[in-house]
Structure 1
C-alpha cells in the first residue's frame, strides 16, 4: 500500500451488502457482519484502523435521522487529531444520499470515504474487501484532503455531488455522468486524483428528530396533480418534482406548484434524465412555466440528492428564498 502519515483511519460500519450474508431461515440476504468482521475480510495490508459499529442495516431501510447519525459519527471520529480520515461502509442503494449529506455538512479537510459492495460477504467472489482496502488507502492519503466526502468503488473515486448508483448489480456500481471520475485507487494502493474542485461552504448540522417532510413526485405522460396533492395533504413542506427532459411537466402540475409555493412549500424541479442540467426553456406547462410558478431548478442534482439537500435546508429552518439560493448554487453546472 502507499505510504501514509502516522495516525489511523476510523471505520464507521453501517451494514449494507458488504456486511450481508444469506439467511436461510429468512430466504433472503441480510446485513449480519460487524465492522471488525468486514475489516478482517479486507486483509492485514492496510493502515491502522479503528472500527466503530453505528448500525447494521440495508441502506434501503435508512431514515433521514439515520443519515444524520452517520454524519454525527463522522464528526466524532474527526475530533481526534490522530484520525487521518474516515471510511463509512454503507449499502449502495442510498449511498449517494448519505454520502451527499455528509459532504454538505463536512467542515474538515480530512477525507470521508464511502464504500460498500455489490456482492454479499459470503458470495464466492465478494467485491467488498477490495473496495474497503481502496477506501482505507484513500482515507489515509494526503492527496484526498480538502475534497469533502468521496465514494470509492471498483477502484474509481467520485466526488459526491452528482454521483449516483448507475448499475443494479454490476461491480462498477457508481458514476457521475456530468462531472466524471475524480480519480482512482489501484489494487497496489496508488492514489491518483485530479484537481480538487472548489467546494461550497458547509451547512451546519440539522437537528435530529425533525418533523420536516420532503417528498419526490414524478411527472409522466398523463400525470395529474393527485400525487402532488397527496404529498401536501401528508404535510410536505418541500417537494422534488421528478420531471421529464430539461425539467418539464404539464399545465395541471404547474398550477399545483404555483399554489403550493404561494403557501410556503418549496418545490424543486429535477429530472428523470441521466445527465445534463435542469433549467426552464419550454412553456405551456414546461420548465419555464414551472420556474414562473416558483419552482427551483436543481441544476445537476438528480431527485435523490435534490431531496437530501432540500430536506437538510428545511430542517435547518431556512426561509424559502434562502433554500432556493442554496439549491441553485449547489446544483450549478
Structure 2
C-alpha cells in the first residue's frame, strides 16, 4: 500500500462535512443503579455539538465499554472509519478510553487517505456535572474539519491535545488529560474554539483495508519482570498464538529463563517482537549475556523500535496476515517500529 493520499479539495463555498461514528464508552455512559454503562446513542451525543460552519452527521457502530472490544469490533470500527473518510471531509470516532489507543492505531495502519480521523472520548460520564465529553467532542469535530489536519492521519483528541495514533497511549486512569505520546508530542492543540497544528506525523505506508476482512491472527503480549520464566511464553503458544510480543525490561532485556523460551518459540516459527514496558524510548540490542537485547536478536527475535506493546501486537498481527515469510514479517515490523 502506498503512503497517505491527498484527499480531494473541497468545493469552494461548501461547508465541510464531518461524520461522527459512535461506539459507546464513558462519553456515552450514564448511571444505572450502582454502575455506569454505555447508554447514549448518536442522537444524544450530537446534542452537545456546537461548531459553526461544519455539517455534522452521526452513526452508531457499536455501543459498549471499550474494555469489551475484541477483534471483531476492532476491525469493524476501523473499517467504518476509513470508509467514512472516503465520503467526508473529516471523521470523528467516539470511543471508550480503555482501548482507544489500540483502535485508533489499527485505523491509522489501514488508512491510506488524507482525510483526518479523530478519536475522542471522556473520563467523566455523561451524567456528571463537570463532564468532559462535550468539550472533547467539539474539539474533535473542529480538528476533523481543519484544513491543516489533512494527511495527518489518525489522532486522539482529549483535553485540548491531539496526539498521533502511532504514539498515543492512555497515561492516567482517571485524569481528564489522560493521554500522552511520550516518544513524540502533540499534533495539534485545541483551545477556546481554535485549532493550532504544531506537527505533522511521519506515516509509513500501511496495510490494505482488505486485511480486516478476516479475523486477525492471534498475537499475545507477555510481560517480563524480575525473575520471570518462560511459563507465559509457553502458555501463549499452547493457546494458539502465531506471534508473541514481549514487554521487556528497560531497553529490551528479559531474565535468562524467559530468553530460553523465547528462543524456543522462534525456533518453532512463532514470530516474536521485543518491546519495552517502560513506556517511552526504543528497544536496542545493547546488552549481551543470556536475556540481553543482543542475545534476543541473535535468537531471532524482532526488535519493535519505539512501538508500545499494545501497538506492536497490532502491527505483528497485520504482518502475519499479509507477509509470506518470517523475513517479510520482520520487515513490516521494522517499517512501523
Q: TM-score, normalised by structure 1?
A: 0.93
1:49 aligned residue (39, 46, 56):
56
Asked if structure 2 preserves the Cα contact closer than 8 Å seen for 1:269 and 1:295, the reply is yes
1:328 aligns to what?
334
Structure 2: gaps spanning 5 or more residues: 1-12
Asked if structure 2 preserves the Cα contact closer than 8 Å seen for 1:65 and 1:208, the reply is no
1:202-281 alignment runs, 5 A limit: 202-205=206-209, 206-210=211-215, 212-281=217-286
1:131 aligned residue (133, 136, 139):
136
1:15 aligned residue (20, 24, 28):
24
Asked if structure 2 preserves the Cα contact closer than 8 Å seen for 1:247 and 1:271, the reply is yes
Q: CA deviation at 1:296?
A: 1.0
Q: CA deviation at 1:76?
A: 2.5
Asked if structure 2 preserves the Cα contact closer than 8 Å seen for 1:18 and 1:118, the reply is yes
How far apart are the structure 1 equivalents of 2:117 and 2:269?
Answer: 35
Q: CA deviation at 1:45?
A: 4.6
1:110 aligns to what?
115
How far apart are the structure 2 equivalents of 1:249 and 1:52?
Answer: 45
2:74 aligns to what?
67
Q: Secondary structure at the match of 1:133?
A: helix
1:169 aligns to what?
174
2:309 aligns to what?
303
RMSD: 1.7
Q: Secondary structure at the match of 1:41?
A: coil
- Counterparts in 2 of 1:45 and 1:207: CA distance versus 1, 3 Å: closer
Q: CA deviation at 1:5?
A: 5.5
How far apart are the structure 1 equivalents of 2:74 and 2:200?
Answer: 25
For the pair 1:198 / 2:205, whether they are aligned, the reply is no
How far apart are the structure 2 equivalents of 1:197 and 1:156?
Answer: 14
State the 4+ residue runs in structure 1 displaced beyond 6 angstroms: none
How far apart are the structure 2 equivalents of 1:43 and 1:23?
Answer: 28
Instruction: Provide Cα deviations, 1:183-236, integer angstroms capped at 9, x if missing partner.
Output: 201122x11112423311121122444262110111111111111101001110
Asked if structure 1 preserves the Cα contact closer than 8 Å seen for 2:230 and 2:261, the reply is yes
Q: CA deviation at 1:259?
A: 1.6
Q: Secondary structure at the match of 1:97?
A: helix
How far apart are the structure 1 equivalents of 2:298 and 2:43?
Answer: 53
How far apart are the structure 1 equivalents of 2:109 and 2:165?
Answer: 9
Q: CA deviation at 1:309?
A: 1.2
- Counterparts in 2 of 1:23 and 1:98: CA distance versus 1, 3 Å: same
Structure 1: gaps spanning 5 or more residues: none
Asked if structure 1 preserves the Cα contact closer than 8 Å seen for 2:15 and 2:55, the reply is no
Q: Structure 1 stretch 129-138 or stretch 33-42: which is displaced more?
A: 33-42
How far apart are the structure 1 equivalents of 2:55 and 2:64?
Answer: 25
Asked if structure 2 preserves the Cα contact closer than 8 Å seen for 1:11 and 1:86, the reply is yes
Asked if structure 1 preserves the Cα contact closer than 8 Å seen for 2:71 and 2:215, the reply is no
